[in-house]
Amino acid sequence: MTEIYNFKEKVDYGKINEIAKEITKGKLVVFPTETVYGIGANALDKEAVSKIFKAKGRECDNPLIVHVSRYSMIYDIVKHVSSVEELIIRQFMPGPITLILPKKDNIPYNVTGGLETVGIRMPNNIVAVDLIEYAGVPIAAPSANISGKPSGTNIDDIKDELNGKVDYIIDTGNTSIGIESTVVKVENGVVNILRPGKITKEDFERRGYTVKLDSHVFKQPSFNEKVLSPGMKYRHYAPNVDTVLVDSDEDTKKVMTITNLVKENINKKIGIIGVSENKEKYISFENVNFIDMGSKDNIDEISRNLFSNLRKLDTLNLDICYIEGVKNEGLGVGIMNRLIRSCSYNVINV
């Protein structure tokens, strides 16, 4: 049985405290962060952690992120921190970033998928921080979704997949960023971005870091290829319908390509996820269901609604869906990374 608490209007911190105590007893809790919701369990409790993998249907070699509420908790669970890593912690935490560090023995291997490293994240969300603080232990949490599906950013989406599989759900409404944290690993002083997110390459560069995007951010790893972040191997963010990403530097080319595809497939039921500005160009086609991803000038809005828009596709009984690419810079890099994966690398560049 899942107990759901609706704290959209007002958070009951007494209840958060009670739920935190249940975490120390091995229970699973869906909780909000500023990026997406997580399914949390006591990161120091191997049995509790194994329940997360079961609830999500997640591959056991795909490591979980460990969430902390204060700096000292990091040093309780990681072996050492270099000067560059220390600077990242002080400059970006709390915030939408996960830093990969060498783990101490108290972090069980099922948290890290057998790796000697652990992903550390200090969320910038008061409910998340209080939950961890009251629990008094770090909380291991992947995104709240069944493996392979888009991450959960609101409880309506999450309930469909996880009701009955977790003990508690804390509902505080839509998460504010909408895509998951930027995952980084420092190697020889260079910040390697394994998964792009709200904290961007430009954010690091502006502060004087040497930074690079890992080669797998946009490229599919080949069979058996070793990747720095095991999550990159798996099918992700995928709707049930075939989806194609249509990308170009020029907006008119994107629209023209998609319109031609619609005309060629006039007998099919087609979904289009595109920017508000282009809506008028598609809605005259009777076979098109248009999903508005937000204004092209508001990348934060596109990010916030991205996963619920992808989920909408599954409710429309479509034959195929075309998605407009966004500008590949800043937060757009994170969005393109998720879109490319949700389309299973099926991309038309024009």
> Which residues make up the interface to Mg ion (CB under 5 A)?
143
Residue closer to ligand TXA by CB (options 216, 312) is 216
From the list ligand TXA, Mg ion, none, which binds 181 (C-beta under 5 to 8 Å, kind-based)?
Answer: ligand TXA
Find the binder of ligand TXA among 36, 74, 272, 331 (CB under 6 A).
36
* DSSP per-residue letters across 200-267: -HHHHHHTT--EEE-GGGTSPPPTT---SSGGGGS--S--SS-EEEEE-SSHHHHHHHHHHHHHHTTT
Residue closer to Mg ion by CB (options 143, 337) is 143
Q: Is 100 in the site for ligand TXA (CB under 6 A)?
A: yes
From the list Mg ion, ligand TXA, none, which binds 183 (C-beta under 5 to 8 Å, kind-based)?
Answer: ligand TXA
Task: Return the bridge partners of 97, or none.
Answer: 182
Q: Is 38 in the site for ligand TXA (CB under 6 A)?
A: yes
Q: Is 192 in the site for ligand TXA (CB under 6 A)?
A: no
Shortest distance, position 240 Cβ to ligand TXA, whole Å: 20
Q: Please, where are the H alpha helices in the chain?
A: 13-24, 46-56, 71-77, 83-92, 126-135, 155-162, 201-206, 251-264, 279-282, 299-312, 331-342
The helix (H) or strand (E) run that includes residue 141 is strand 139-141
Which residues are within 8 A (CB) of 63 and not within 5 positions of it... i.e. 6 or more apart?
111, 112, 113, 115, 118, 119, 230, 231
Interacting stretch for ligand TXA, rule CB under 6 A, among 140-148, 159-167, 305-313, 333-341? 140-148
Among positions 60-99, residues that touch ligand TXA (CB under 6 A) are: 62-65, 98
Residue closer to Mg ion by CB (options 94, 119) is 119
Closest CA to 102 of 196, 195, 185, 225: 185
Task: Return the bridge partners of 195, or none.
Answer: 183
d(CA 350, CA 348): 6
Find the binder of ligand TXA among 94, 119, 271, 294 (CB under 6 A).
119
Shortest distance, position 107 Cβ to Mg ion, whole Å: 19
Find the binder of ligand TXA among 23, 170, 183, 306 (CB under 6 A).
183
Find the binder of ligand TXA among 167, 180, 214, 247 (CB under 6 A).
180
Query: Do residues 139 and 67 touch, judged by C-beta distance below 8 A?
Result: yes
Shortest distance, position 248 Cβ to ligand TXA, whole Å: 28
Among positions 254-273, residues that touch ligand TXA (CB under 6 A) are: none
Find the binder of ligand TXA among 69, 112, 124, 192 (CB under 6 A).
112
Query: Do residues 229 and 195 touch, judged by C-beta distance below 8 A?
Result: yes
Q: Is 217 in the site for ligand TXA (CB under 6 A)?
A: no
Tokens 């951010």 sit on residue? 217
Q: Is 333 in the site for ligand TXA (CB under 6 A)?
A: no
CA atoms within 13 Å, Cβ hemisphere of 221: 17
Residue closer to Mg ion by CB (options 258, 333) is 333
Q: Using CB atoms, what's the residue nearest to ligand TXA?
A: 231
CA atoms within 13 Å, Cβ hemisphere of 151: 29
Find the binder of ligand TXA among 20, 29, 35, 313 (CB under 6 A).
35
Q: Is 181 in the site for ligand TXA (CB under 6 A)?
A: yes
From the list Mg ion, ligand TXA, none, which binds 119 (C-beta under 5 to 8 Å, kind-based)?
Answer: ligand TXA
Closest CA to 33 of 65, 61, 63, 55: 65
Query: Do residues 295 and 277 touch, judged by C-beta distance below 8 A?
Result: yes
Chain centroid to CA 55:
17
Find the binder of ligand TXA among 138, 142, 150, 274 (CB under 6 A).
142
Contacts to ligand TXA by CB under 6 A? 33, 35-36, 38, 62-65, 98, 100, 112, 115, 117-119, 121, 141-143, 180-181, 183, 194-195, 228-231
